[in-house]
Chain A
Amino acid sequence: MAKLPLEGIRVVGMTQMWAGPTAEMHLADWGAEVIKVESLHYLAVGTRGPAPRHPKFAVDFVKGGYAAYLKEGYDEVNGRPWNRSSMFNVHGRNKLSCTVDPMKPKGKEIIKQLVQVSDVFIESNQPGVMENLGLTYDVIQEWNPKIIMVSMSGFGQTGPLKYYRALGAHQEDFLGHTYLRGYVDRDVTANSAIYHGDEASGTAAPFIIVMALHQRNKTGKGMFIDISQAEATMTQLGEAILDYTMNQRITERTGNRDLYGAVQGCYRCQGEDRWVNITIRNDKEWEGFCRALGNPEWTREERFSDTLKRWHNHDELDRRIEEWTSQHDHFKAMYTLQKEGVAAGPVEHPDDAYNDPQMKDRGFFEKVTHSECGTHRYPGLSYRMSKTPNLFRSPPVRLGEHNEYVYKMILKVSDEEYAELEREGHIGMDLVPDLEIGKYKAE
């Protein structure tokens, strides 16, 4: 039996929010030992939920949402909200967590010892944070010249925007993505904030990191890698940028319309807020579409008779298509159209997704038991390998869950020292009381 691809690689992570933790997740999924180094004295905005002890009334008030907590049994006073966040528990699988207070000299010494036995050190803090902690690359490389250190921030470690405060949504604004999406007939304020930069850079980063390991195997040298989340995301907007550099033309948003002339849209179906997306690219697909609808009279009108005419009469066509879709269930519409060779698919709310036959057949969701959250189905791996098959090996990691392992097995700390580190606030599983978000608690 083959080992997992990254077995034997140790990664130390001091990452926040979504992009850095996503990078860690890919590495952890494929066998790297990823040790999250967290603090009982610090919680960055949104990393393990919106706030250290988010009030119960606010937790109950929010319906759904990406920043939800598990509501059942929620207790902000005696419980541990930070282990129950939907923001964190989706990428926390297969990782280890230890706690240390990096503000104290002894904490820094512990991080040093971990860096010395690791291959990769990854952080995704606001530039300035690692400088304040004295954990910049010049320090890290002295501790371990072979380490691969990765810093991922919104705009990178240099340049006039280096210290700019930004979430994924603000990066999107700068790099032009916000302007490129949304409704044609409404302005740019009428849309949701999105965080595409987190998935784009969080998925590119593990590519870069594994490539760096490959390079290090050849050169024997460690390195520093500066990832600007904005730049990593811009590499996914190539043709919009080229339209400007080739033609000095600013690309405008097109709503749900196709960029290459197909008939395309998102159409209302039966039920509450249920929709189907349809793309009709050519005459053959158009004929299939007509058959699926039972060849109604209107489909034979001259103005819909070829691709160009359909494009020119797109608005009218949209109304006709929606007359049909609105009488159908969104999955039923997909099956009816796909049967005739037409690209169509429902807009899947989470209830649809968990019941989706494809997701079930591929076993995408995995049932996992978490000691504080109970048993639930979690989104699983996004790609499969034939000889190193892989699943959730461990549930979303709890704060400080692996202190014993990390301190005693890796760092060889004695029981007495361990107890002292507990007393000194390095080791534990509970954030200190009165912790303010995004701030280290002053002693």
Chain B
Amino acid sequence: MVEQPLSDVRILDLTWYISGPNCTKLFADYGADVIKVERSGEGDPARRMGPFYQDDPHPEKSGLFLYLNTNKRSITLNLKTETGKRILKDLAEDADILVENFSPHAMPSLGLDYETLEKINPKLVMTSISNFGQTGPYRDFKASELIIYGMGGAMCTTGVGDCEPVKKGMNVIQYQGGTMAATATMIALYAARAQGIGQYVDVSLMESQMGSIDRRMSELLAYEYNGELTPRMDIAGLLQYPYGIFPCADGYVDVAGGFMFLNRIEKVLKMPLMERYGGVNQFDVERREEFFANTWYPWIMERTRREIVEACQEKRVMSAPINTTEDLLREPQFQERGFWAEIDHPVVGKLTFPGMPAISAELPWEIRRPAPLLGEHNEEVYASLGYTREDLMKLREGGII
């Protein structure tokens, strides 16, 4: 049995909400010992964000929290007390990595900035994730999923021209910042092991978007090269028209075909289209409309997503069904590859979760434990620091844990 790749890594995890926990989740699921430090009483605010199991807004039933915190151990600690700070420093001494995503002023104001922690543990990699970075005029500005995408990402070109720009789904921008932070942290850890140096890693969510490949960087460079802004247009407005999402018998389907690949579409539809429409492009409005009304829609509206996608793929036309989460869970592809993980949790029971981001026999991905209950690991973690049960009682009475 191959050992998990990060079984020799310990992380002190001061993260909350989404981006930070997603960063440490990647490490935890590959074997790192992640000690999640939560506020006494309330814990990570993600515990109060939905969706909740059976819609019960209980702190141990948040799907968001349950997903983002697998394999972590939870302790509670009040960092505003002197004892709390001392305990955190003790924990930092043995950690390889510390990750936090508070506002930039929080760690320095607690006296827990990198300069302080570096003295305790010179090999420590400390990663701070923030909305705009640890420096600069926006440093202390507030933000949200939507705002980060608008400022950093390609939101200006997402949506249709006659409407406002529109965000991506769910919380993917914050997740992406967390993935970026995980990569940055992993690279810094590699340097720490190879060269014996710890360091401070500054991850800005705005920059994680500004440096993102989903159109943004390229559109920025297109502007720099040619002085032109990119208009916001729907898929059907692309040059290769018709190219995009169409209604069909049981929902919607994406077909990258149209006039660009008309020779292939001809084979999919089994009609002599090249003869009639060969050479037509998006500017030829009359014949384009005719193609749509007489050929394309009658064909596509009679067929289901699966029929269309299979017929297209067989003739090398890129195509995909517009799946809901229900459809996604039923896709044989992801079932066959063992993507889904079953996780048993003491409060919500056994549930299906998204699983490993990569498959390799040498990199075992494993759920060793479900997301922790708040403070579940206080006793074992504090015992390892030498605290007795009586000490814990005192800490509890003092509001420290």
- Best-buried of A173, A204, A377 by chain B (most CB within 10 Å): A173
A310 to chain B, nearest CB (A): 16
Let me know if A192 and B159 touch, CB within 8 A: yes
Let me know if A238 and B64 touch, CB within 8 A: yes
Q: Which residues of B contact A383 (CB under 8 A)?
A: 180-181, 184, 201-204, 207-208
- The stretch of B74-82, B87-95, B102-110, B358-366 that contacts the partner chain: B358-366
Cβ of A236 within 8 Å of any chain B Cβ, yes or no, is: yes
Q: Which of B147, B189, B191, B213 contacts A195 (CB 8 A)?
A: B213
Provide the bound-state CA to CA distance between A213 and B141, in Å: 38
Majority secondary structure, B binding face: mixed
Q: Which residues of B contact A386 (CB under 8 A)?
A: 114, 199-202
Interface size class of A (residues with CB under 8 A): 35 or more
Given the interface contacts A71-B225, A176-B328, does A347 sit within 8 Å of B155 by beta carbon? yes
Cβ of B376 within 8 Å of any chain A Cβ, yes or no, is: no
Within 8 A of B (CB), among A1-55: 2-6, 18-19, 21-22, 26, 30
Q: Which residues of A contact B142 (CB under 8 A)?
A: 279, 338, 341-344
Contact with B along A149-189 (1 / 0, CB 8 A): 00000011011110111111111011111111111001111
Contact with B along A337-351 (1 / 0, CB 8 A): 010011111111111
Cβ of A221 within 8 Å of any chain B Cβ, yes or no, is: yes
Let me know if B333 and A160 touch, CB within 8 A: yes
Q: Which residues of B contact A224 (CB under 8 A)?
A: 360-361
Q: Which of B53, B195, B219 contacts A350 (CB 8 A)?
A: B219
B57 to chain A, nearest CB (A): 11
Cβ of B384 within 8 Å of any chain A Cβ, yes or no, is: no
Cβ of B323 within 8 Å of any chain A Cβ, yes or no, is: yes
Provide the bound-state CA to CA distance between A179 and B254, in Å: 11
A280 to chain B, nearest CB (A): 10
B336 to chain A, nearest CB (A): 5
Cβ of A241 within 8 Å of any chain B Cβ, yes or no, is: yes
Cβ of B339 within 8 Å of any chain A Cβ, yes or no, is: yes
Provide the bound-state CA to CA distance between A113 and B334, in Å: 36
Contact with A along B16-55 (1 / 0, CB 8 A): 0000001000100010000000000000000001111111
Cβ of B388 within 8 Å of any chain A Cβ, yes or no, is: no
B232 to chain A, nearest CB (A): 7
B166 to chain A, nearest CB (A): 6
Q: Which of A3, A26, A170, A265 contacts B319 (CB 8 A)?
A: A170
- Best-buried of A62, A156, A169, A379 by chain B (most CB within 10 Å): A379
Let me know if A160 and B336 touch, CB within 8 A: yes
Let me know if B362 and A266 touch, CB within 8 A: no
Let me know if A207 and B336 touch, CB within 8 A: no
- Best-buried of A163, A170, A216 by chain B (most CB within 10 Å): A170
Contact with B along A260-274 (1 / 0, CB 8 A): 101011111000010
Cβ of B394 within 8 Å of any chain A Cβ, yes or no, is: no
Cβ of A133 within 8 Å of any chain B Cβ, yes or no, is: no
Closest to B218 in A: A66
Within 8 A of A (CB), among B175-216: 175-176, 179-184, 186-191, 193-195, 197-204, 206-208, 210-216
Q: Which residues of A contact B229 (CB under 8 A)?
A: 63-64, 349-351
Within 8 A of B (CB), among A342-400: 342-351, 353-354, 356-359, 361-362, 364, 373, 376-388
Cβ of A132 within 8 Å of any chain B Cβ, yes or no, is: no
Let me know if A246 and B5 touch, CB within 8 A: no
Closest to A249 in B: B51
Let me know if B323 and A226 touch, CB within 8 A: no
Let me know if A160 and B332 touch, CB within 8 A: yes
Let me know if B199 and A387 touch, CB within 8 A: yes
Query: How many residues in B have their beta carbons less than 8 Å from beta carbons of A?
Result: 154
Q: Which of B50, B179, B329, B362 contacts A244 (CB 8 A)?
A: B329
Cβ of A123 within 8 Å of any chain B Cβ, yes or no, is: no
Let me know if A191 and B158 touch, CB within 8 A: yes
- The stretch of B244-252, B265-273, B285-293 that contacts the partner chain: B244-252
Closest to A244 in B: B325
Let me know if A245 and B352 touch, CB within 8 A: yes
Q: Which residues of B contact A158 (CB under 8 A)?
A: 336-337
Provide the bound-state CA to CA distance between A358 and B239, in Å: 35
Closest to A182 in B: B166
Let me know if B169 and A354 touch, CB within 8 A: no
Let me know if A225 and B360 touch, CB within 8 A: yes
Cβ of A203 within 8 Å of any chain B Cβ, yes or no, is: yes
Let me know if B348 and A211 touch, CB within 8 A: no
Let me know if B6 and A238 touch, CB within 8 A: no
A10 to chain B, nearest CB (A): 15
Provide the bound-state CA to CA distance between A289 and B332, in Å: 49
Let me know if A223 and B362 touch, CB within 8 A: yes
Cβ of A419 within 8 Å of any chain B Cβ, yes or no, is: no
B161 to chain A, nearest CB (A): 8
Contact with A along B334-346 (1 / 0, CB 8 A): 1011010000000
Q: Which of A89, A225, A388 contacts B191 (CB 8 A)?
A: A388
- The stretch of A101-109, A251-259, A296-304 that contacts the partner chain: A251-259
A411 to chain B, nearest CB (A): 26
Given the interface contacts A214-B190, A266-B164, does A177 sit within 8 Å of B358 by beta carbon? no
Let me know if B235 and A193 touch, CB within 8 A: yes
Cβ of B385 within 8 Å of any chain A Cβ, yes or no, is: no
Closest to A161 in B: B333
Cβ of B368 within 8 Å of any chain A Cβ, yes or no, is: no
B356 to chain A, nearest CB (A): 8
Closest to B326 in A: A250
Cβ of A295 within 8 Å of any chain B Cβ, yes or no, is: no
Cβ of B383 within 8 Å of any chain A Cβ, yes or no, is: no
